[in-house]
Structure 1
Amino acid sequence: MKETINENKKGNWRQFFQLIKDTEPPKLLLIIALCMSFATTGVGFVVPLFTKQLVDGFSIESLDYWQIILLVIAFIAQAIASGLSIYLLNRVGHHVVASLRDRLWRKLLHLPIAYYDNNDTGETLSRVTNDTAVVKELITEHLANCLTGIIAIIGSVTILLFLDWKMTLVMLIAVPIAMVILMLLGKRMFVISKGMQDETAKFTAILNQVLPETRLVKASNAEELEYNRGKKGITNLFNFGLKEAKIHALITPLISFVLMIVLVTIIGYGGVRVSSGELTAGDMVAFILYLIQIIIPMTQLTMFFTQLQKAMGATERISAVLEHEEEDIHQGHDLESVNESIHVNHVDFAYGEERILSDIDFTIEPGKITAIVGPSGGGKTTTFSLLERFYQPTKGTITLGNTPIDTFSLHSWRSHIGYVAQESALISGTIRDNICYGIERKVEDEELKRVAEMAYAEQFIQELPQKFDTEVGERGVKLSGGQRQRIAIARALLRNPQILMLDEATSSLDSNSEIFVQKALDNLMKGRTTIVIAHRLSTVVDADNILFVEKGHITGSGTHNTLFQSHEMYREFAKQQLRIQE
């Protein structure tokens, strides 16, 4: 058990330093900053010796004004060096955290969809913001104090050994006592810090879930429910904060108590030796000043040690994200065009132990419309996700002609797909930003207007005050559902995809909006391989092929007339919906 704990601690240390190393901090700036810190500390070694000379042989005649001038210059240089050191270390710290956040952000954008299925978005955001801030605080606020503190302690102890080795040995009794305190409380701090970071991540997750859905909260009278969820997170954070405060409340006073006992002992023992003539008064004053130069760094080291425990806890979570397997969107060969059939060959798919699709087998003909219908939960959207390559089949293959689609690069494959969902996602920004989203080339105004007209969006866009530069709000909240869908269709038109995927694109719209959106979809589908998920059979009765999916199986396929005659459940669906329409 002890060996396992030791291995974990070693792993945490290695993990922490490797993570910092991977950010490639500017070594020259770090060296200059540390040299400035060491210079600042070095000046501190001179002051007690100068004080010793003043005490032992003070008189107006003995004053060396050049020494005083040099001492003043040294103090000024110390102040400048200290300021530069603080600035440069902050710059290094900000570089490290920026590099970490850059790596995390790139990583998060390239992680597979499966990662987001299993990890809460709010907790992932906490890795990028809160955990990296802990690492930055360690570097900018505590690293210099640690290194200069070590130099100050080593330098002061060395000088003290020359001044009086007996008194120095008495003082060094405090070192093992302080180390035991730090080790015992440090382990506890590591556990508490990990717990606090977990709770911070959970609280961030609650904020991320609730705030974007404020309308749902208010419409459901769920303010009290969400308040209680948030209150629980706040209380947990408060409790962890109290535990952390207790550790701080123990470490600093205990270390100070030990050092003060040493200080009193040294003063008493030193006073006896001064009275016996073994030490001069100047030696005693210098000894106390050097002792103070040890006490202050010791308290700074305790702060560094506790912050280091927090940083190592943060490192574990950051490393867990960075080590997760990501998608390489450029691996594979480029797909020039989609002019062959897409074959889904005996495909199975499962989320963990839960099987979603079983032995799915069908063909999507180029330039034709293939519809997927059936009861909810049958696996229609999962089929779309496999075609989009958000997931890999657990069994079987999907091919374009005879070529497995996973041999094409993700970037190349997805660039040929246009996707319009039931609730099309819009980013916070302008209408122009949303239509051009993901387009790497510059889009001229004429082309923007053309796709907007084809999507039947031009009319309502022109009625807006800022037209294409109108802000849509978070997730497009300033636009109606039909307007958002037409913006999404314009986006798909601008991509000019060869494969079009429509996921319940009109099911949530009122009849007036549906008319416009359906006309826009008709423009979008012309000459393209189209795959449609539909609940309303009226939108797909003219499809070239209809697949009926239930409980993960395809139980029927063919045209509307063929399925109406041969498939009992499809016939029931059709009769109910036709009756509603009539």
Structure 2
Amino acid sequence: MEEQGMQEQQQQHSESNKPKVGTKGFKDFVRLIASTNPPKLILTVALILTLIQTTAGLIVPLMTKGLIDGLTTSALNKSVIFLLLGAFVIQAIASGISIYMLNYAGQRVVATLRTKLWNKVLSLRMPYFDRNRTGDTMSRITNDTSQIMTLIADYLVSFVSNIVAVIGGVALLFYLDWVMSLIILSLVPLTMLILLPVGRKMYKISKKQQDEMAGLTSVLSQVISEIRLVKAYGTEKQESEAGDSRIRKMFAFGLQEARILALIGPLFTFVMTAVLVVILGVGGMRVASGILSPGELVAFILLLFQVIMPMGQFTTLYSRLQKVVGATERIQAILADEEEPDHNTKLAPQGNETIAFHDVHFSYVTGEEVLHGINLTVPTRKVTAIVGPSGSGKSTLFSLLEQFYLPDSGHISYGGEEITTYSLASWRSKIGYVSQESPLMAGTIKDNITYGLNREVTMEEIRRAAEMAYSADFIDKLPQGFDTEVGERGMKLSGGQRQRIAIARALLRSPDILMLDEATSSLDSTSEYEVQQALSNLMEGRTTIVIAHRLSTVVDSDQIVVLEHGHVTGTGTHAELINTHPVYRELAQKQFVAQDGEGSTSSNGEIQNKE
């Protein structure tokens, strides 16, 4: 029920989370880059060097003019040749340094942005992860930021230099011959007619490409992480088809982009060639009539290329910018999402205090309440078990206690104070959580036992925790002992071994509050016995809350809470509930009879009396 609520919430918010075409656009991109505190000095120097390179490039045609006109009079001017060579050298040096600086700036901006995104993702509230696939988020941090880096490194400053080249080039063209310059200016409206529709089309295609890339990343991430499930159920073909479908869609969008580029390139080349032919024809006549010198015509053609090339790059830049705008919107969507509220500086009190739920209501999806007015007291240093049918809200209570979610109304208190008044770090440091799965991180056994500790620990402390968790014996038998790699998600260890590593981690954390989510339900009898012994050591002197599906594991609890459809319907000891709670009694009868056959064990003697 709870999982279904999360899925429905994901569907409800998926559309609203998608960026809207054309909103904010370039301004959002500028604000995003500014938020990364880019290296302004380096960008400024790169810009100056690029301008020097551009200026030197504009001077070259004028020097060429003097050189060619000098050749016609049989007087070779050596100073012009040296100036020409000097301009080439300055161009090369300025270009090389500016390229390096721009790439440095681009890499630094993207590294800062990725760090910012990563830290943001880690601080997001759980509802974000409920409604967004892991692969989508990964794609935002990797692929979308790469789009931004490419724009900065390859296009950003060159855009400014291209503007200078076009303005300076056009001015020099008018200086050389205003008639032919007017012919060139006719390119501007023609270029805009090509540029704007193509840019809008590229924007739509690039957004769809990025969506499909994120979808493919999600499919790959999910399938690879659950490859054992895929192979166990023989769904390789099904998953292959799902991946192939994404790849084919990306291929189709890639072809659409290729068709646009295939149209732009030849069309632009045709227009430029036509203009060049016209310029050569008109220029030839003006040279023949003595209006232009041969050197001026050559200089005019060289300048023409220096104007045409940047104009051609504007088309590419515009297309690239459209892609980056789409990437920016997706990144901004993450950065704008709600973070966990961690503005409090008040530290949670040391030691054990009473936990109380006060009229707590909660829903994953608005209008579909999961918990209905929960009132519950968890006594200090006692064991409280929460039982009830699947979907009754047991795990949701744990999530609220961890502050993964906040109640819609009501509150949870610890020692009389609302837990939301404490800083999240100090509150969560008081809690030790051992789940049915006991997830481990890739790394060594030692890394996993010490995971999440904010203090230095000695090897003796680690070994003592392992011994209390009944895990030291099997760890010592491993080839590398505590330095043994556990594999992704701890798959190199058995279920019981993973559970005991998780218990050792909780012991080393030494929490005041212990939460156990059916920590032994998936183990065989031998492993269960060892884990139960380890849990006994862990539970000693701590406030313990246990989610139980098997009543045999909680019959000795100090308090048992029956939860049904989000309502607390009973509270008491096992014996009290057997006498007063029909649903609990029925559940106990079914479980104990199923376990004991004739129902002759002492744990269910009270049930037999009632029968």
Task: State the TM-score bracket (shorter-chain normalisation).
Answer: over 0.9
Percent identity over the alignment? 55
1:513 to 520, 527, 530: 527
- 1:255 Cα shift? 2.5
Q: In the comparison of the two structures, how many residue pairs are matched?
A: 576
Once residues 83 and 254 of structure 2 are traced to their aligned partners in structure 1, the CA distance between those partners, rounded to angstroms, is: 48
Under a length normalisation based on structure 1, what TM-score does the superposition of the two structures give? Answer: 0.97
Aligned partner of 2:287 in structure 1 is 274
- SS of structure 2 residue aligned to 1:362: strand
What CA distance in whole angstroms lies between the structure 1 residues aligned with 2:325 and 2:252? 21
Contact 2:268 2:312 in 1 (8 A): yes
Residue 243 of structure 2, aligned match among 205, 227, 230: 230
Amino acid at match of 1:269: V
Report the AA paired with residue 448 of structure 1.
Answer: I
For residues 297 and 85 of structure 2, the distance between their equivalents in structure 1, rounded to whole angstroms, comes to 24
Structure 2: how far apart are the matches of 1:48 and 1:335? 74
Deviation at 1:166, TM superposition (A): 1.3
Could you tell me which residue of structure 1 aligns to residue 130 of structure 2? 117
| Residue aligning to 2:187 | 174
2:29 to 7, 16, 22: 16
Find the partner of 1:156 among 162, 169, 184: 169
Partner of 1:215: 228
C-alpha separation in 2, matches of 1:327 and 1:513: 37
- Give the CA deviation at 1:66: 3.2
Task: State whether structure 2 residue 431 is matched by structure 1 residue 417.
Answer: yes
Matches within 5 A, 1:418-567: 418-567=432-581
Which residue of the partner structure matches residue 4 of structure 1?
Answer: none
Q: Which residue of 2 aligns with 1:71?
A: 84
TM-score if structure 2 supplies the norm length?
0.92
SS of the aligned residue for 2:407 comes to coil
User: Which among 407, 413, 416 is matched to residue 421 of structure 2?
Assistant: 407
CA contact (8 A) 2:29 2:328 kept: yes
1-side partners of 2:257 and 2:74: how far apart?
A: 56
- One-letter amino acid matched to 1:537: L
- Where 2:520 maps in the other structure, the secondary structure is coil
Using a 3 Å threshold, how does the CA distance of structure 1 residues 62 and 10 change in structure 2: closer, same or farther?
farther
Which one is further off, 235-244 or 568-577?
568-577
3-state SS in 1 of match to 2:71: coil
Distance in 1 between residues matched to 2:393 and 2:119, nearest whole Å: 31
Runs of 4+ residues deviating >4 angstroms: 7-10
Q: AA paired with 1:285?
A: V
- Give the whole-Å Cα distance in 1 for the aligned partners of 2:355 and 2:128: 27
Is the Cα–Cα contact under 8 Å of residues 347 and 359 in structure 1 kept in the other structure? Answer: yes
Q: Deviations over 1:519-542 (max 9, x none)?
A: 000000000000000111111101
2:113 aligned with 1:100 = yes
Shift of 1:338: 4.3
Among candidates 585, 595, 598, match of residue 571 of structure 1: 585
| Pairing partner for 1:389 from 403, 423, 426 | 403
SS at structure 2 position matched to 1:549: strand
Gaps of 5+ in 1: 1-6
Instruction: Tell me the equivalent position of 1:371.
Output: 385
Summarize deviations over 1:423-477 as a string: whole Å, max 9, x none: 0111000011101111111110000000000000100000011111110000000
Deviation at 1:402, TM superposition (A): 2.2
1:21-36 aligned at under 5 Å gives the runs 21-36=34-49
Partners of 1:287 and 1:74 in 2: CA distance: 18
Q: Distance in 1 between matches of 2:578 and 2:264?
A: 78
8 A Cα contact 2:70 2:76, kept in partner: no
User: Among 196, 209, 214, which residue is 1:201 paired with?
Assistant: 214
Structure 1 contact 145–300 (Cα < 8 Å) conserved:
no
Q: Write out aligned runs for 1:257-296 (5 A).
A: 257-296=270-309
Aligned residue among 65, 83, 86 for 2:96: 83
| Residue 51 (1) aligns with residue 40 (2) | no
Query: C-alpha root-mean-square deviation of aligned residues, in Å?
Result: 1.4
Match for residue 344 of structure 1? 357
Alignment gaps of 5+ in structure 2 = 1-19, 597-611
In structure 1, what is the equivalent of residue 344 of structure 2?
331
Q: CA deviation at 1:8?
A: 7.0
1-structure distance, mates of 2:517, 2:504: 16
**In the alignment, which residue of structure 2 is the partner of 1:3?**
none
Distance in 2 (CA, whole Å) between partners of 1:64 and 1:10 is 58
Distance 1:554 1:105 in 2: 39
